[in-house]
Amino acid sequence: MAFNLHHSRHFITLSYLFLLLCSCFSSIFCSSDNDFPPVTPINRDLYRTSDALMEEIEALVNRHQDRLHMETFQSTNKGYHAELNVVTYCRNRTAIEDKSKFRILLSFGQHARELITTELALRILSILSEEQFLPKMDPLLLNKTLEKIVIKVVPMENLNGRKKVEAGDVCERRNGRGVDLNRNWSVDWGKKEKDFDPYEENPGIGPFSEPEAQLMRKLSTSFEPHIWVNVHSGMEALFMPYDHKNTTPSGVESQKMRLMLETLNHLHCGDRCVVGSGGGSVGYLAHGTTTDYMFDVAKVPMAFTFEIYGDEKASSRDCFKMFNPVDHPTFNRVLNEWSATFFTMFNMGAHQMKDPQESTPFNMDHLISIDDYLNGYLIERKSRYGEKKEFLDLGLQEIRTYFRLFLLSSVMLMFMFCSRIAKSNRSHLPSISL
């Protein structure tokens, strides 16, 4: 009896240990979805479906046919069909093809899960149509700017991918057949870093294999923009080339791009946005991107990528929250701040031109260097006939513009030497935004 009791105690102890080990292994390897943080669903009180958004944009265009025009382009590749909706703004519809205008091309929604970008597209178009207003924008200055420019807006570049997000795959960033449209362009296409993830960054079978990229290339070639902006979310940043290497271009054009971005960062980002090259600032290199193509191949003088929002505290599984505001105050703040950012950019870009009728807005003869100021440019300069021109003859608006650029460049140079921009380490995989 004592022998049996002794062995029974050992059996009970071993059984208890076995059950404890099973419980531990189960908690480690067999965790259910309930053990993970909850995944935020799409807030339908804030975000429109793709169909509703495009219907609202189409209705907006129809109400303002004097200044807005909408076109739909289509392309098919190996049975895969895509369409691209493009809205053109011009104060005078008859001047849409006027190449003397300052031309701006904007693309939103290239990555499907970044819904906030397409809402910003609608907000910008609403302001351009004057159905909504920027509270702190000088209406006279805005009108003068808008008379000089033509803007083409692609509200939702990746419509097929967006449909997959709306069907429940909220982490999807690629197009309808699994290709990352921001890796499908020809500059440094197909190169893979050590941390390459084919799910997130599939570049396609070759450059421009995707109909969406083909349509965007045709649009940029025919429009010949002076400014290109690819709008994303995932962080707050103002990027210039390059994405595929940890450098920025050299020369005056690069200096002008950086000055514009630093000015926008100071005025509208509260100096919190990361500024610089995508490859040098975001924490990884991206190959085959649209912005690098626009600058290197299409020769767009100012090519940018704007990252308008990111929640770095969100779980790596909670993609909707990571890339999109989920509450009304943040949603409205993002749209208000970035709308103002774009209209300041429109104004700065338009004033690159000395005369809106001149067809080469980035002619270096129209820019005044610091040396010109030091050599007495504001007192007098020679005309093309060798005669002297007095200060007042230069025009108040021109002087104010140049002088403001001079002051801004001085302030930004001081700021760059006296502060450092904190860079976030974004280690979780779905935080890839570019």
Residue 72 exposed, middle or buried by CB count within 10 Å (0-12, 13-18, 19+): exposed
* pLDDT value, residue 283: 80
pLDDT in tens, 197-213: 888 999 999 999 999 99
Determine the pLDDT at residue 347: 94
Position 229 scores a pLDDT of 98
Give the model's pLDDT for residue 141: 87
Confirm whether 147 is a catalytic residue: no
- What are the φ and ψ backbone dihedral angles of 357, each rounded to 5 degrees? -90, -10
pLDDT at site 419: 47
pLDDT at 398: 53
Q: What is the pLDDT of residue 221?
A: 97
pLDDT at position 431 is 53
CA distance 196 to 60: 41
What's the confidence (pLDDT) of residue 377? Answer: 31
For residue 400, what are its two tokens? 């104010």
Selected catalytic residue, list 114, 119, 201, 307: 307
pLDDT of residue 316: 86
Tell me: the pLDDT tens digits for 233-255? Answer: 999 999 999 999 999 999 998 99
Q: What CA–CA distance (Å, rounded) separates 193 from 284?
A: 8
CA angle centred on 198, ends 315 and 121, rounded to 5°: 65
Give the 3-state DSSP-derived string for the chain, with helices as H, strands as E and coil as C: CHHHHHHHHHHHHHHHHHHHHHHHHHHHHCCCHHHCCCCCCCCCCCCCCHHHHHHHHHHHHHHCCCCEEEEEEEEEECCEEEEEEEEEEECCHHHCCCCCCEEEEEEECCCCCCHHHHHHHHHHHHHHCCCCCCCCCCHHHHHHHHCCEEEEEECCCCHHHHHHHHCCCCCCCCCCCCCCHHHCCCCCCCCCCCCCCHHHHCCCCCCCCCHHHHHHHHHHHHHCCCEEEEEECCEEEEEECCCCCCCCCCCHHHHHHHHHHHHHHHHHCCCCCEEEEHHHHCCCCCCCCHHHHHHHCCCCCEEEEEEEECCCCCCCCCHHHHHCCCCHHHHHHHHHHHHHHHHHHHHHHHCCCCCCCCCCCCCHHHCCCHHHHHCCCCCEEECCCCCEEEHHHHCHHHHHHHHHHHHHHHHHHHHHHHCCCCCCCCCCHHHCCC
CB 281 within 8 A of CB 274: yes
pLDDT at 351: 84
Contact 109, 84 (CB under 8 A): no
| pLDDT by position in tens, the chain (length 434) | 444 444 444 444 444 444 454 454 444 444 444 556 789 999 999 999 999 999 999 999 999 999 999 999 999 999 999 999 999 999 988 788 888 999 999 999 999 999 999 999 999 999 999 999 998 888 888 899 999 999 999 999 999 999 999 999 999 999 999 999 999 999 999 999 888 888 899 999 999 999 999 999 999 999 999 999 999 999 999 999 999 999 999 999 899 999 999 999 999 999 999 999 999 888 889 999 999 999 999 999 999 999 999 999 999 899 999 999 999 999 999 999 999 999 999 999 988 754 434 434 433 333 333 333 333 333 333 333 333 333 344 444 555 555 566 666 665 555 555 444 443 443 444 556 67
Give the pLDDT score at 137: 82
pLDDT score recorded for residue 85: 98
pLDDT of residue 92: 86
Task: Please report where in the chains the tokens 């104004």 appear, as a residue.
Answer: 347
